[in-house]
Amino acid sequence: MSAIQTTISESQNITISTPGEYEYFLTKPSVELTLTGSFHATGTERIKIAVTIHHQAPHTRATTKLHGAVADTGFISFWGKIKIDPECPDTNSFLTERILLLSPEAKAEAVPELEILTDDVKCSHAASISSIPEEQLFYLMSRGVSRNKAEGLIVEGFLGVE
């Protein structure tokens, strides 16, 4: 499968909701991109998302947030890459990949990558894979919410992507 390539020449907010490979090229100075995506794998579903944010002009900004929840024996894979070309100073780019495991058989991988070929940048990545903390479930259950409903509320809020 080939990547969906998008040139960003003006500031944009983009939400992705379909698995696949995505490449975004920031080609004009001062362009800003906010990219979000949320995915929920159930049953034996396998979801793979690969995102590349390629800064090709100076003074560009990008924020990428991917959230996923995996139930049953499902699988989610997030591959994120930030690439900053030479001669692109004053660039800021941030990548976050977060995944909730909702069953002991659920599987996930989160692989962030940075390729920075210039100075004067602010760039970071974060990745986490975890289950729902028991204290969050306990809090809701102590207020009369069933365990299943509590889990559903937490997942719904988590996938809302800030």
Residue-wise over 104-130: b if at least 16 C-beta within 10 A, else e? Answer: eebbbebebeeebeeeebebebebebe
Can you say how many angstroms the Cα of residue 159 is from the centroid of all Cα atoms in its chain?
10
Which residues, in sequence order, are bridge partners of residue 91? 121
Give the per-residue pLDDT at 157: 94
Q: Residue 120: which of 87, 71, 153, 80 has the closest Cα? A: 87
Instruction: Give the model confidence (pLDDT) of 53-82 as tens digits.
Output: 999 999 999 999 999 999 999 999 999 999
Q: How big is the chain, counted in residues?
A: 162
* Residue ranges with strand state E in 4-73: 4-8, 12-16, 20-26, 32-41, 46-55, 61-70
Task: Determine the number of helices (DSSP H) and then strands (DSSP E) in the chain.
Answer: 2, 10
Instruction: Give the model confidence (pLDDT) of 92-106 as tens digits.
Output: 999 999 999 999 999
Instruction: Give the model confidence (pLDDT) of 117-157 as tens digits.
Output: 999 999 999 999 999 999 999 999 999 999 999 999 999 99
Distance set, CA 35 to CA 23, 66, 88, 93, 155 (Å): 11, 8, 20, 11, 20
Phi-psi region of 144 (alpha: psi -120 to 50; beta: other; left: phi over 0): left
* Domain boundaries, given as residue ranges, for the chain: 4-131, 133-162
* H-state helical runs in 75-159: 134-141, 147-159
pTM: 0.93
Token representation of residue 33:
């991109």
